[in-house]
Amino acid sequence: MSFQRASLKPWNTFGIDVYANNVTIIHNVDSLFYKSLDKSVRRSEPILFLGEGSNVLFLQDFQGKVFINRIKGISFTETTHTWLLHVGAGENWHQLVKTTLYKGLAGLENLALIPGCVGSAPIQNIGAYGVELKQVCEYVDILFLNDGSHQRLKVDECCFGYRDSVFKHRYKNHYVIIAVGFKLIKKWQPVLSYGVLKMLNPQTVTPMQVFHAVCKIRRSKIPNPKYIGNAGSFFKNPLVTSPTAFDLLTLHPKIPYRLKNNGDVILSAAGLIDQCELKGYRVGGAAVHNQQALVLINTGAASSQDIINLARIIRRRVGEKFNIWLEPEVCFIAAQGKIDSVEVIT
């Protein structure tokens, strides 16, 4: 299905009303897809692949073709100690989490209610409440746009880091993720290291109880984009060295943080913004969410420039107060494609 000069408002959770030259929905990698893709490549036309547009901010009309990835399918293989899943990139992430739990497969419950599609998860190495994608990922299947060939990248080849992966670097152009493989260990161990999850009894808790607890936390903090436009966490939690963290936390002990195994420290971006008293702060139609400072919202008529201006003010306030300079987690999309988000708000 293809649409000419189509609005991208339904395809981004911020609800920014920009247009693309063409929007094509793909359900499988067939000859029609290749024909459409090849035509764009030969014309040197900008190409953008979207899942649910839950981690993007469109700055202007996109002067090219947008492909909406709806490649579906979930298959299960059982081994002695694991469940192996092969999942189409167009599957909704939260629905995948629910499907596995309803089938009695644990391991994804801490990642409940993260917006977007499965194909977007490896790009960010999504993580929440003590679990990251890299802990459950076995491989990622990609498609080369120039010749239609496929390649399977094993988990170590994905170079997963904190909200980072090879798909933001070597594979950020001319490739698209078409499927993700997961490995879920049958001998389940709950991860209860985050916030109110610590109150659950690790001896008796079930995966479904963890799932419901995570959903309750997320719903209390992050608005549903169906009703209030947002892209979830707008900024990354800053990663700093132990000495930097020590100096900062000595002066500002209320800032939440967590330690990494290598001794580095992840500071709470929401905590830093909170300390600047910016909850509810508004620029035009954009605002900092009252319940979660890390979420920027479209109050109904925000332009992308409103959101940029708000993000710029937040970054400057936090930088001036703490000498910590926040970086957007959200991808910025201009007329020709992705651009450096830090440069935009600096």
What are the pLDDT digits (tens) for 72-90? 999 999 999 999 999 999 9
Enzyme catalytic residues: 163, 233, 329
What are the pLDDT digits (tens) for 138-150? 999 999 887 788 9
Crossing angle for the helix pair 207-221 and 93-102, to the nearest 10 degrees? 150
Poorest-pLDDT segment among 31-45, 124-138, 332-346 = 31-45
- Is the confidence at residue 36, as pLDDT, over 90? no
Domains of the chain: 6-69 (3.30.43.10), 74-220 (3.30.465.10), 224-345 (3.90.78.10)
